[in-house]
Amino acid sequence: MKTERTGLEEYGFTNLSRIHWNLPTPALYEQIINRNEGMLAHLGPVVVRTGHHTGRSPNDKFVVDEPETTNDVYWSKENKKFTEEQFDKLLGKMASYLQTKEVFVQECYAGADEDTRLKVRVVTENAWHSMFARNMFIREKDVNKLDEFQPDFTVVDCPRFHADPETDGTNSETFIIINFKRRMVIIGGTSYAGEIKKSIFTVMNYLLPKNDVMSMHCSANIGEEGDTAIFFGLSGTGKTTLSTDPERYLIGDDEHGWNESGVFNIEGGCYAKVIKLSAEAEPDIYECTRKFGTVLENVMVDSRGRSIDLDDDSLTENTRASYPITHLPKIVESGKGGHPDNIIFLTYDAFGVLPPVSKLSIEQAMYHFISGYTAKVAGTEKGVTEPKAVFSACFGAPFMVWHPSVYAKLLGEKVRAKGAQCWLVNTGLTGGPYGVGKRFAIKYTRAIIKAILSGELASGKFTTDPEFGFGIPEHISGVPEEALDPSNGWSSRADYDAKLKELAGKFAENIKRFEEGMDPEILKGGPTL
């Protein structure tokens, strides 16, 4: 039986003033308010601030280089090396820092599949971070099992502890360091709670493929007929909007695994971006911002009336809501679905040359998966004045541990074995490049998704794109036929062809980074330059 002062000595944590074990949500609310960590808003959410870190700090993430895993890790800008000695020294400093302080512990699971789930212990100095962990991971409701809980991985999160780059080997005072040998993650110098969930997702991205389980940065849902669909897409492509479908049941919105039984959610909650969220466009997520148990990060609130303003981006455009998935009305409570019938890659093409939907072969699916393409446009990022192609391997490069081809090959194997159909859906521009073209109407994109999920599209006729080689449908119910061929909206066919070749060249240039050690089958899915 755990007591308030025992249970964390194995990490070197001693002389703690108090350990709060697995506090339920109401008790965490009391702690958050009493400790002035947040403010209670109208209808029940708690509003918090993350300080100068309003998003992840990818340059401050490291992986400990040790003999057991060094040959597995794809060392890159996403996976920078940190020595065992540096890790132990920094952990010792954190232990000294925590002496005489209160800590909060949540013990939970990552992974709805019982055979591959990870027992996770999150130790943090903030009550609201403990509530975030309680929201985002899968809860253990049996108190007897909690008393006997032995973690597979532990996250130690100290936002107010800062590293010294000169002596600690970090890039800044902020750090997120994963140690697979010690089965620990240590986080310091940042109050952005997303680091907690993404660090464990990174761990799962290492562990699951070792068991031939595909790990995926995607959302997933199930239709009334039991058909499963998964959606990949970077920020701004519409992944959350299109997967949170009132006619379907949500498995999860961000992290999933795919094993021999089917797709399963890694999380127990949602972490939705809520800037300019409206009740009309996304009613279910909007309602979650007004519920007890939701944590609102950097959302502006009227200090007198305590009403929230989701349109106010004074602090950041990356305002977030963390809430248990049970806050949503239509969910798959088990967190598990069957093998996907359809896999949808979402992209925002600002060059205006990709069709609104394309049918992909298995080789093309692997190629576009490892590419992870979208585009940034002026106004979305400081310094961006014209469209910029963005490639994030596997639609989640910062969280991948193995070489990207490992995940792409595993995806191809599962698609081939289970008969899934893959699609590339462009939610970006048509009729010309940025400044000329217009964004595809959301009603047309929804009609395309409906045609995919109903099976209508797979049985239709297709023409072949001359540059990328994928199939372009000739007809979709509810979508004008002239919109299916993006060249129709361009005033000059020659300009269209030139821009299409330019984009294909960007794909080819990007893939060169991964060619060493890549399966040749993946390269077959690229454009024919």
Residues with catalytic annotation? 56, 198, 217, 235, 239-240, 254, 320
Cβ-in-10-Å burial (0-12, 13-18, 19+) of 76 comes to middle
Alpha helices, H only, 254-315: 283-288
- Give the strand pairing for 320-324 and 295-297: antiparallel
C-alpha distances (whole Å) from 57 to each of 21, 60, 62, 314, 476 are 28, 6, 11, 20, 42
Q: Which helix (H) or strand (E) holds 228?
A: strand 228-233
Nearest alpha-carbon partner for 54 in 154, 174, 165, 147: 174
Nearest alpha-carbon partner for 285 in 315, 320, 259: 320
Angstrom distance (rounded) from CA 275 to CA 509: 34
Residues 46, 27 contacting (CB under 8 angstroms): no
**What is the DSSP code string of 403-466?**
-HHHHHHHHHHHHHHHT-EEEEEE-SEESSSTTTSEEPPHHHHHHHHHHHHHTTTTTS-EEE-T
Give the pair of three-digit tokens for residue 191: 């109050």
Orientation angle between helical segments 25-34 and 127-136, nearest 10 degrees? 150
